[in-house]
Amino acid sequence: MGLLARSAVHQAARHVTSSGRSTVLCKAPVTFAGARTASRSLACSISGAARAYSQQVDVSDRETITRLLYSLASRKEVERYLRIFSAANKFAVLKVGGAILTHQLDELALSLSFLHRVGLYPIVLHGAGPQLNEILEREGVEPDYIDGIRITDARTLRVARKVFLEENQRLVEKLESLGSRARPIPLGTFTASYLDKEKYGLVGKIEKVDKEPIESAIRSGCLPILTSLAETEDGQILNVNADVAASELSKVLEPLKIVYLNEKGGLFHGNTKELLETINLDEEYDDLMKQEWVKFGTKLKLREMKELLDHLPRSSSVAIISVDQLQKELFTDSGAGTLIRRGYKLYKSSSIEEVGAERLRTVIKENDEEVKDGRKSVAQFFSELSKHPYTIYGDEPMDVIAFVSRPEGEVPILTKLISTRNGVLNGVNDNVFNQIKKDHRRLVWTARADDENRAWNYERADGSFSRNGRSLFYYGIQDVSEVEKIVRSLEENNRIERAYLPLNASKPGNVPGGARAFSTFAASRRQGAASLGASTNGTLGRRSYATAVERSQPLPATNSEKKRVALIGARGYTGQALVSLLNNHPHLELSHVSSRELAGQALEGYGKSEVKYSNIGVEQLRKLEEGKGDSAPPDAYIMALPNGVCKPFVEAVQQGGAGKSQGHGTIVDLSADYRFEDKWTYGLPELYSRQAIRESKLISNPGCYATSIQALVAPLLPFLDPAAPPTVFGVSGYSGAGTKAGQENPSSPGKKVTVPKIGPEDLKGGIRPYSLTDHIHEREAARHLSVLGAGNAGPGMGNSINLAFVPVVAPWFQGIISTVSAPLRTKLTAKDVRNAYEEFYAGQALVSIGNKVPEIGDVALQHGIKIGGIQVHSSGNRVVVVGGIDNLLKGAATQCLQNLNIALGYDELAGIPH
């Protein structure tokens, strides 16, 4: 969950609880048949009395929280889950790790209170292992385990009982302090016998679960809070592993969803340290349990979950997530953490008859677009498939079927990948595509260029070409000329439709129509980078959408109407640069410029009309957007305000446009306030989706250094050494430090002038390093490169890109020179790196690649990015590249205008000299 969304959730909880109302909805979730959408749901059964009580909810509270959920997902997703939850009659089981109670109690309580306010009643069962270990170690007792089970003697049990009761009460009190009623149930739910008294001591094996204390709590409008302590029939208290207790509880309540909360946010591979996003037990369990890193608690957890899910419907699943992912897990399709489900075993066959012709015919007729549209019959497809050797891949219930044609000596073609709804929701596509990739080191497949799931194809391909509305994807083919030869052969043999590849193409960037995907050179080295699984037909399910951002070429202009822009905070250098650019824009006009320091003065440097600075406060801005000002609302707002002060101005525009059918005007924010917020579109067009910018009304403009860093590092993502992050050394002119409040102009009394915070006299002709660690642009660049790198990084990089950044201010006015030194995971030549940059930036008008090292004179007052000086260390394992931009232009004003042009439908470079 993004920072803004999480903050909004917590603020909502605090806001609602501060009202003093006891708001309760005794309705709860059940999941879809299927997996990952199902995994979004809680599961809890609510009695008729609870449903009657739910009708007393304060509607405004629920509506407020519901609107906040829209920051996590689309309205459609949120409303779907709330509708399902409201009609459900199953319980949710939330198992909470003891470490969360120690380190994240406030966050846990806020999340649970949030759910309570929406009317959901998860059954919370918590552990206290870390707290117990700490006390025992202080008393000189070394914790001891066998197969992940704590050996419990009388002394350990005495401490455990005390700790469990204290932790249980702490959580209950925290919830009630937030206005959410909770009931402690530390004992009385579990009846147990000794698991093995000689081996484990006072450890219980749960024999019976009493549901009445839980149902009584819910009938009373309380969240039930349980511990994993059990009792024998004669009253002896026994310790039970909390995961085991949650499992036994779930077997009795039969939920469709169980959520395990832990600090790590999922299960991680013991060797690669990568998050295991999905585990399909029927297919993977036996192999997993043989892995040397699967031991102790991990082995116990997997064993318990396998045994649990074997007792539940196949559509049930378990999610292991962190506290801050709870709302995302429950209310979005994308989910979070690790999903564990039974899944199905896969098969493969070289015979239609062996699989079952009629079964295949039924699935194809019901789910394949080509057949449903009448473009091809099933018999025709079978006939064409049978002309060459082929393999059919699928799962037992035929939720997913894939057909791979493989003539001797030719590249195999994935001719169809068909998925039913259950196949998509259960992510069977993941396993099927993975099996295909294991069997075939090279593969070609096709899809419509406008396929809504094209990002999935890009993520799994080493390269692609698009033409005439169709796209061809491939992996395992390393050279463009070889691709050309293969595609020609496939066309001549009528194995694919013609016109995928232009005959004169030398690299993907030359493809007409501007539909370039990842460059062949860069992408071909992403072996193993992306997790596999999804469908090329139908709608993708969770874990199937591409995590990488689809890069795009400039979009065609769709608008030439005049539009009006308000510049809020026009005093600084960036504001002045924007005034100059807008003065020469063919379609945009300034309607308002706001500066408290310069209010009343005429705007200099703008000749289209007479405009004066005005002091536009938050309330005036809201009225302006509502249309209650002296003039019509502007079409767009540029927020050129200092960091940390933009939020109320943005909210004023949003409030002013709340009642409009088209919503509020487009906002481009130049501060750092929203660059880390998921619901804002990050506007660096050369790297990230232009279509996302066009569809957004909330655009965060990247920082100057962050733009420079990302421009340099992005083409290198497939080659970076995951064990040695790149270092970027950036030197900026002193204009990057900003300006002081306006001072009196000696030559013009009454007028204010802009002065720099740091000038040449401060630097005394030298340079000044600053913010040597944790610079905000370091974090900004790493965050967004991680999004890009999720589908375009080398093996071992995972989804997190790390880098080090050292900034320096120099005694020139404007311009940034940045140098990246990047260790490589594989040996490259300077020519290889140069090709990678050229292919990555093919068709990008504001990016130029050269041989010479860029200097300040090359970039100051220029609107683009210049990259050069590419050198590789003699070892071939480290590359150095230099890049330059003007911090006031491409680092701020020019980029802002690019984003504004795209969002308003103009040519991206309208008003930008190039």
Catalytic choice (26, 222, 704, 896)? 704
If one counts every other C-beta atom within 10 angstroms of the C-beta of residue 450, the result is 11
Q: Sign of dihedral through CA atoms 22, 23, 27, 30?
A: negative
Distance between CA 311 and CA 252 in Å, rounded?
Answer: 10
Amino acid at 437: K
Amino acid making up residue 630:
D
Residue with tokens 């050269």: 850
Active-site annotation holds for 222: no
Q: Which of 285, 293, 394, 298 is nearest to 341 (CA)?
A: 285
Query: Got the DSSP string for 248-282?
Result: HHHHHH--SEEEEE-SSSS-B-TTT--B--EEEHH
Q: Quote the tokens at residue 889.
A: 């232009």
CA distance 327 to 81: 11
CB 822 within 8 A of CB 722: no
Distant-in-sequence, close-in-space partners of 29: CB < 8 Å, separation ≥ 6: 41, 42, 43, 44, 81, 84, 85, 88, 90, 92, 120, 257, 330
Nearest to residue 364, comparing CAs of 385, 346, 348, 349? 385
Tokens 């072996």 appear where? 527
Q: Which of 446, 349, 334, 315 is nearest to 34 (CA)?
A: 315
- Distance (Å, whole) CA 129 – CA 164: 9
Per DSSP, the three-state class of 335 is: coil
CB 594 within 8 A of CB 603: no
Tell me the three state secondary structure of residue 466.
Answer: strand
Task: Look up residue 463 and give its two tokens.
Answer: 């390269």
Q: Which residues contact 250 (CB under 8 A, 6 or more apart)?
A: 93, 258, 308, 312
Residue 323 sits at the vertex; the CA angle it makes with 319 and 326, to the nearest 5 degrees, is 55
User: For the chain, what is the largest distance between any 2 Cα atoms, rounded to a whole number of angstroms?
Assistant: 95
Q: Is the separation of the CB atoms in 592 and 624 below 8 Å?
A: yes
Name the strand (E) or helix (H) holding 592.
Answer: strand 588-594
Q: Which residues are catalytic?
A: 704
